[in-house]
Copies of this chain bind each other. A is one copy, B any other.
Amino acid sequence: MKTNRLNANDADFVPRLMALTAWSEERDEEVGERVRGILRDVAGRGDAAVVEYTNRFDRRDAASMADLTVERAQLEAALERLPAEQRQALEAAAERVSDYHARQKQDSWHYRDAHGTLLGQQVTPLDRAGIYVPGGKAAYPSSVLMNALPARVAGVAEIVMVSPAPDGELNDMVLAAAAVAGVERFFTLGGAQAVGALAFGTETVPAVDKIVGPGNIYVAEAKRQVFGKVGIDMIAGPSEILVVCDGKTDPDWIAMDLFSQAEHDEEAQSILVSPDADFLARVEEAMERLAPTLERETVIRTSMANRGALIQVDDLDQAMEVVNRVCPEHLELSLDDAEVWAKKVRHAGAIFLGRHTPEALGDYCAGPNHVLPTSATSRFSSPLGVYDFQKRSSLIGCSPEGASELGKIASVLSRAESLTAHARSAEMRIKKPL
């Protein structure tokens, strides 16, 4: 199998590794300009603009937004007609994802200091969340669950989902997943026009407070442009996996784990790190043998050749250095004592512990979210979670004594900053000596 071979002791290892894993978002001035135009139009003309763009880009023939609205009853109907096995799998996955996310929910808290002053934070859900789900070929019901369920668990009052239906085609399982996830409103919209409708609101589409979910370059650019007016999640890059294996896992398992990432698209990245040169060779042999058995062999071969790598290290400590340099979206620790080794991981989206935890289980049903920071952004960001649909307000309630004591400190500091009204406002609460 054609892929990149690196040794962590090579003189040029670090620059080669960095070049291989580097990814910078393609941003195109022309795309930026087109998106700006669409957003301006949707903000100004509402439904009329949204219908026009949708008819044009998705080859639809809608007379009004009514034709682009999917009623809750249609979602339920899609769920009803799903084969029993698929419905059960969807509901079992939703239950596990909800259970896990319930543990992320944050509560309001407060305490009182020695002066009786109350300090804390009040935690509240967003009023309304918008979920963007790609349509057409890459319509993934699992993405509906992973984006909508954290909002549901957070207590978001209304979840508005948009998903394009090119040529009017809708994926039944996506509709069913929306039913399971408790989506209240569903519009068959996509592209920048869908993002604009969610951000600004139209006569039909309610304006939301935050937009999450993956999309193409137009969707990503539109999310960037409306950021600030509404919240957005991270802009995702290609998906990646890094597997660290001690050489004692079945090479077929590891080969298929690498493929499960490589099959996504040509830009996906699969890296195996091992101290066992012989094991690397056996995985390579397994990859060559297994690739022809897969529908997406061509995509797999392309992504393994361009962005894949087999990396030999001296030992597992050196492997962990590679991990913390790459900061992978998915990290599989296929080795003994994985829980102990995990504590050495400083940056990763999700850590899969042990030989029995392939990434695919996390993608669908283990419980944690599959929306994860890519392209080394795990250095500063986290998996999508309930915390993305909650926000906090600081609480400060001074007792008269507390205000008097704090007023003295605030007076000195605000006068040092030449903010006299701040100082006077604080000083008015200082108790006068009797």
Contacts and interface: CB of A to CB of B under 8 A. Distances in A.
A18 interface: no
A403 B356 contact: yes
A69 interface: no
A342 B395 contact: yes
Nearest to A299: B421
Contacts of A235: 228
A428 B387 CA distance: 34
Contact of A361 (B349, B395, B396): B396
Contact of A353 (B25, B348, B353, B395): B395
Contacts of A103: 109, 111
Nearest to A375: B228
B141 A413 contact: yes
B230 A380 contact: yes
Contacts of A305: none
B253 A414 contact: no
Give the copy number.
2
Interface in A400-415: 400, 402-403, 406-410, 412-414
Interface stretch (A58-66, A113-121, A274-282): A113-121
Interface stretch (A8-16, A49-57, A83-91): A83-91
A359 B111 CA distance: 19
A126 interface: yes
A259 B421 CA distance: 6
A356 B402 contact: yes
Interface residues of A, number: 123
A246 interface: no
A414 B383 CA distance: 21
Interface string A89-126: 11011000000100110000101010001110110101
Contacts of A256: 421, 424-425, 428
Nearest to A99: B113
A252 interface: yes
Interface in A244-260: 250, 252-253, 256-257, 259-260
A92 B381 CA distance: 32
Given A141-B417, A338-B397, 20 more contacts: A92-B409, A118-B353, A122-B351, A124-B347, A127-B379, A140-B417, A142-B413, A228-B234, A231-B380, A252-B428, A263-B419, A352-B396, A357-B403, A360-B422, A363-B414, A367-B396, A372-B394, A382-B391, A383-B392, A383-B393
Interface of A: 24-25, 85-86, 88-90, 92-93, 100, 103-104, 109, 111, 113, 117-119, 121-122, 124, 126-127, 140-142, 173, 209-210, 228-231, 234-235, 250, 252-253, 256-257, 259-260, 262-264, 290, 294-296, 300, 331, 338-339, 342-343, 345-354, 356-369, 372-373, 377-383, 385, 387, 391-400, 402-403, 406-410, 412-414, 416-426, 428-429
